[in-house]
Structure 1
């Protein structure tokens, strides 16, 4: 039917006749017909058997291939990476390969869930999310110098949903938000959806340019600053204590709220300065998730903030999502974090990534592609291309050979990174490197 070998309205063989022809059991035919009916390819009419459905959507190969003609904007890398077929290589994407993640602890937790109370498998999540997971997160934050009680932590459907909730809570259309330049491209995309003005400040190897930061606060009076402190995305840089102190001093003087996205924190061997720890969750809000380290399929994020803001965010999450994240996802993550396997997994990841970063940096430098900074951890290398080569053109060229790259200007509000590119070292295999070499 998908190949158009049968026409709309054509009658299909009966279950008994097809079972005899195919030499299979009638139950096998019933299951096959049920699946085809669920996909809308056939229709079942009582007393009349099965017929081919009409109005089949046209077969469009363009829908399953990379979109070469798409404008390179903050959505470009996300759309190309998320929709990529399995054979497409993604050194521009923002996650680890599936075989780098801890599948066995997740499977073990899922097997335990099969025996869990029916409420966990069927009910809505509570308004704050799993108490067990919030206690674990609170203990982890204490180890990092952040004094957050479990009631100061709100679980969300993902890290992105955490940021979206905070934007709904703190911003009005027309407000101004400060971003790093470069910054994670989905910060830009999400803020665009909230209809706010975005101003950017150049990011250095030790944090935002403090002089430009102060100038932006005085000139634009932003309500919010969104940043990564640990293993900054895309640069891989880390915030220094000196810059952190100056940023917090300026924020206090200008009544600025800061959202610190700490999603890459667990990749650090030696933790960098944290705005949330230095501030004590007064005007800094910490968000995070486990999509990068554990599973992007079992999604759960969190917000750590002052208690009165958490109360307001709870109401907002009920209004927009009717409760906290999936109890199943929260229970799986809590089980993995509490049995010791997560720490071992992270330790192994850090070692493996350190080796891969060194290898990738050497390969890239041999092509004249030089890392902007040596990261303290993680899987990104922010690199300058040789000869002023345009990264957007290079990305489009590589995409024709089924390789998704991340050109610099998708990360830059000011479009100040035309010859820079972010590479995910964990996603760079020999074929991706060869395509990159040819594209250059």
Structure 2
């Protein structure tokens, strides 16, 4: 009887999970008793009892001669219920929470940002003082829909420096880089569309795209960009609407797009309806700028986004979108609908900070510190058997492979119990093929205790 009861609960849990993920919405007919019994390899009586209990709970309703239907309102959106259930150690949302919520004394080699002491604190304090002396309009009024004109002018000049001509009317400020992608997804996607991402890629791309109810397809990432043959096959098989990538310094691998790969990628995109979103958040970390898809394309089918949270301050949220003029018009409408006027104060502060002469010197110092930290971190990891996939030329990330037979999720679990937050590879991999990889942030990996904990967890 206990086994029968467990099977009934399993059927009930399956139906409830499909409702929570919005696979089954109100009014949708659920599989017939016989079809469900066959699919779950249980008896018809087991499924019938499960459906009867779900009816008693108000989850299902029955229609004579027709079958069983989902009752009630649409379930609240639960991102963790969309797609296959992930172990929490590789769940992007859970990993983000661990990095954001753990105490300040925790060690975070798996987090995605610079230590607070590496940020542009002096410039921020000076900018805050200057903005505090601004007139009432600057301190209290909504921003214009496109955003702070001086900051957009600065961005236009900076984009010109990498070969991208984007006048002010083609640049719109957003509340963050994530907000920029969210607006683009609202603009271009419908539930059920397909989006290509790099495999591996920044794990919050996965979480954000799940919220938009789209199909996510990963394309293997190489040392020079996406695997072009795999990309062509994905275009043919899935007819994707979007491709989201980093072109400067790739997250999590630290690789950079080559000019040859960029041209081949754009040639493939020209033969499709694909739109490319290029996240350029790490541009200021480069010693020599890598090719940019947006520059080669001239913003015809490529949209570039970015923000300042990695170099200036994560507390002051401000990002941007650079796109063709007619798309910016529609994106402005979406921005008004979702955030109204935008953050005038944040944009003003960011503009004051990055146009101060100290920002250039600050970034020179950060790039030098990162280069030294990269050398040190790679050497210390190699000493305990953790090898870099490649040694990046710039940036804060190194993508590393564990010794044979070691599992990154299990290692992350063991290290978390000792106060070390890691970023296991399958959190970044749509295909879940990076189970023996970890992403390390070299700026957060200077403490010797990290390597002691890793060594114990590895059994080295």
Pairwise TM-score range, normalised by the shorter structure: 0.7 to 0.9
1:103 counterpart = 2:121: yes
2:351 to 323, 334, 350: 334
1:345 counterpart = 2:362: yes
2:376 to 352, 359, 371: 359
Alignment of 1:220-299 (within 5 A): 220-299=238-317
1:393 counterpart = 2:428: no
CA shift digits 1:157-214 (9 cap, x unpaired): 0000000000000100010000100000000000000000001110000000000000
Residue 198 of structure 2 aligns with which residue?
180
Post-superposition offset of 1:231? 1.1
Q: Distance in 1 between matches of 2:388 and 2:419?
A: 24
Q: Distance in 1 between matches of 2:90 and 2:273?
A: 35
Residue 433 of structure 1 aligns with which residue?
451
Residue 17 of structure 1 aligns with which residue?
none
Post-superposition offset of 1:367? 0.8
Post-superposition offset of 1:327? 1.2
Residue 411 of structure 1 aligns with which residue?
428
1:206 counterpart = 2:224: yes
2:396 to 379, 388, 397: 379
Post-superposition offset of 1:71? 5.0
Q: Secondary structure at the match of 2:172?
A: strand
Residue 131 of structure 1 aligns with which residue?
149
Q: Secondary structure at the match of 1:258?
A: strand
CA contact (8 A) 2:415 2:421 kept: yes
Residue 218 of structure 1 aligns with which residue?
236
Post-superposition offset of 1:438? 1.3
1:116 counterpart = 2:134: yes
Q: Distance in 2 between matches of 1:374 and 1:319?
A: 44
CA contact (8 A) 2:196 2:244 kept: yes
Runs of 5+ in structure 2 lacking a partner? 1-86
CA shift digits 1:339-373 (9 cap, x unpaired): 21111111111111001000100000111111101
CA contact (8 A) 1:203 1:209 kept: yes
Most deviating of 410-419 and 83-92: 83-92
TM-score (norm 2): 0.80
Q: Distance in 2 between matches of 1:420 and 1:287?
A: 28
Q: Distance in 1 between matches of 2:220 and 2:169?
A: 36
Aligned length: 371
Q: Distance in 2 between matches of 1:70 and 1:414?
A: 16
Residue 34 of structure 2 aligns with which residue?
none
Q: Distance in 2 between matches of 1:258 and 1:221?
A: 13
Cα distance change of structure 1 residues 224 and 94 upon mapping to structure 2, 3 Å threshold: same
Q: Distance in 2 between matches of 1:140 and 1:331?
A: 17
> Over aligned residues, Cα RMSD in angstroms?
0.9
CA contact (8 A) 1:133 1:330 kept: yes
Q: Secondary structure at the match of 2:92?
A: coil
Q: Secondary structure at the match of 1:313?
A: helix
Cα distance change of structure 1 residues 336 and 231 upon mapping to structure 2, 3 Å threshold: same
1:75 counterpart = 2:93: yes
Post-superposition offset of 1:76? 2.6
Q: Secondary structure at the match of 1:287?
A: strand
TM-score (norm 1): 0.83
Post-superposition offset of 1:83? 0.7
Residue 15 of structure 2 aligns with which residue?
none
State the 4+ residue runs in structure 1 displaced beyond 4 angstroms.
none
